[in-house]
Structure formats: structure tokens, C-alpha cells
Structure 1
């Protein structure tokens, strides 16, 4: 099994959530579904472009390897080592989201405070654990690709925020952003 597709899927979903987080709390309107969707799509677009960096890194490493078959096997093992901690993290996020959407108001609020809030703060640690998994399973080349991928996904939210939602900048739909 090649871990590239599940990792790419996790990366683009994370990018969409990052776009949403860059926008969250900046608009006091009650009905803001379109703005939320636009923010998620912005994150998705930025994340998709940034995730080309680890893909290109992998291609360069494979093209320059002395033994491409051995390098591919090592990168596959490293990708699986990278995927395991992220799959565990994504499962925890999905369970928290399910609790948020399916439980009554008070319980869903608790799920947000106890689950999604801390999990958002733990994203860099989950990526660090994934990098460690890549190193242990696949070696230094896998760590390089994992580090590039981790930097890419952690950069989406600040880039989206800086480009579209900076404090003091008018929002694209004319609503002033918070200070």
C-alpha cells in the first residue's frame, strides 16, 4: 500500500479546516455559511499548492537515488510511519466533530471545549510525532519529506490569515475585520 493518497487526503482536509480556522471568530453575523465555505476553500487552495512541495521533494529524492526501488521502499515505509500518528490524531478529531454535531447543545459545547480546542493546539505535536514515525520507519529521506509536508500544512492557516483576514483589513465582503 502506498501511503501517498491517504496522506494527501489528510493534507487537503487539514488545509480546508485551516482556512476555516483562519476566518473563525472574525465575523459576528449569525448566518455565515458562505463565508465559512469561502474560508475553507481558500485554505484548500493554499494547502493544495503547498502540498506540492513534499511531492516534489519525494520525486527529486527518487530520481536522484542510486537504487530507486530501495529508495521507494524506504519512502513507503516512512510514509506509513508518518501516517500512523496522523491517523490516530484524525480519528480523535473526527470523534470530537461527531460529538459536536450529534450531541445536544451543552454536550456539543463540551465536546468543542474538551476535544476540538485542545486537539487544534496539539496539531504541531501530532506532526512532530509523524516526523518521528517517518524517521524510525523509513530513515532520513522520509524525515525530510515529512518535515516539508509538516511545514506545508502548518503554514496554511497563517498564510490564509495574513492574506485575507489580517486585523484591521476589511474583509472581502465589506465587513470590517476585528482588531
Structure 2
């Protein structure tokens, strides 16, 4: 199985959350479900465009490789190594979100502040761990190149959405 599909899905979900984070706190209205959904869609769109960079990087690595089958296997091994730390990170995020939605208001809010606040700050470290996982799992330099490109793309979604749509507070 190729890890490209789960990695792409993780990247797109992260992009939607990045769009939400770019919008969060910028609007004092009480009913803002439509604006929140629009922000998530903006993040998803920006993420889809930015995630073309690692896709094109992987395609370029494969097309220029002397042994494409071996390079594909190397990239697949690196992708699995990249996926493992991100899966652990995504699980922690999902547990924090589940606590927020399922627990009573005060406990859920505490879970959100204690969980998602630090986890948001740890995103770059999770991506660095994923790059290291890609390298150590046998992906070598090609997987590290693709992983670094993917990490940079994912980390650029929130600033891109913020600059494009939410630069000024309403």
C-alpha cells in the first residue's frame, strides 16, 4: 500500500483546520457557522494548491531516477516513516477534539486549552519528526526532500489564508 493517500488526506484535513485557525478570533459575531465553514474551505483550497508542490517533487524524483521501481519503493518506505509520527500527532488532536465535544462544557474547554493549544505550537516539531521518520525508515534523501517540501507546504497554509482573507479584523 502506498502511504500517499493517507498522507494527502492528513494534509488536507490539516489545511482545513489551518483555515479555521487563520479565521479564529477575527470575528466577534455569535453565530458564525457559515464563516467558520468558509474559513475551513479556504484552508482546504489553499492546502490543495500548496500540496501540489510535494506531489510534483515526488513526480520529478521518480521521473529523473535511473531505477524508478527502486526509487518508488524508497519513497514508499519514507512515506510510511513520515506517516507514523503524524498519525500519533493526529491521534492526540482527535482525542483533544473528542474531549471538547463530548465532555461537559468546562472540562471540554479545559481539554481544548490544555490539548489543542500546545499541539498547535508543536506542529512544526511533529513535521520535523515526520521528516526524520522518513529518513530513518529507509526513505533516504529523496523521501526527506519530498517530506520537507510537504511539511513546508502544510505549514504555509495558515499564513497564506490569513494574508489573503483575514489580514484585517472585522
Alignment of 1:1-179 (within 5 A): 1-137=1-137, 138-167=139-168, 177=169
**Aligned counterparts of 1:56 and 1:159: Cα–Cα separation in 2:** 20
**Aligned counterparts of 1:2 and 1:104: Cα–Cα separation in 2:** 40
**Aligned counterparts of 2:88 and 2:44: Cα–Cα separation in 1:** 22
Deviation (angstroms), 1:79: 0.1
**Aligned counterparts of 2:111 and 2:149: Cα–Cα separation in 1:** 32
**Aligned counterparts of 1:140 and 1:133: Cα–Cα separation in 2:** 12
Deviating beyond 3 angstroms after TM superposition, the runs of 4 or more aligned structure 1 residues are none
Normalized per residue, the structure richer in helix is 2
**Aligned counterparts of 1:17 and 1:121: Cα–Cα separation in 2:** 14
Deviation (angstroms), 1:136: 1.1
Unmatched segments (≥5 aa) in structure 1: 168-176
Say which SS state the counterpart of residue 139 (structure 1) adopts.
helix
Deviation (angstroms), 1:161: 0.2
**Aligned counterparts of 2:63 and 2:145: Cα–Cα separation in 1:** 15
**Aligned counterparts of 1:134 and 1:150: Cα–Cα separation in 2:** 12
**Aligned counterparts of 2:105 and 2:157: Cα–Cα separation in 1:** 30
TM-score by length of 1: 0.93
TM-score by length of 2: 0.98
Deviation (angstroms), 1:65: 0.4
Deviation (angstroms), 1:52: 0.7
Q: When the two structures are aligned, how many residues end up with a matched partner? A: 169
Q: CA RMSD in A?
A: 0.7
Unmatched segments (≥5 aa) in structure 2: none
Deviation (angstroms), 1:113: 1.0
The higher relative CO (CA closer than 8 Å, separation ≥ 6) is in 2
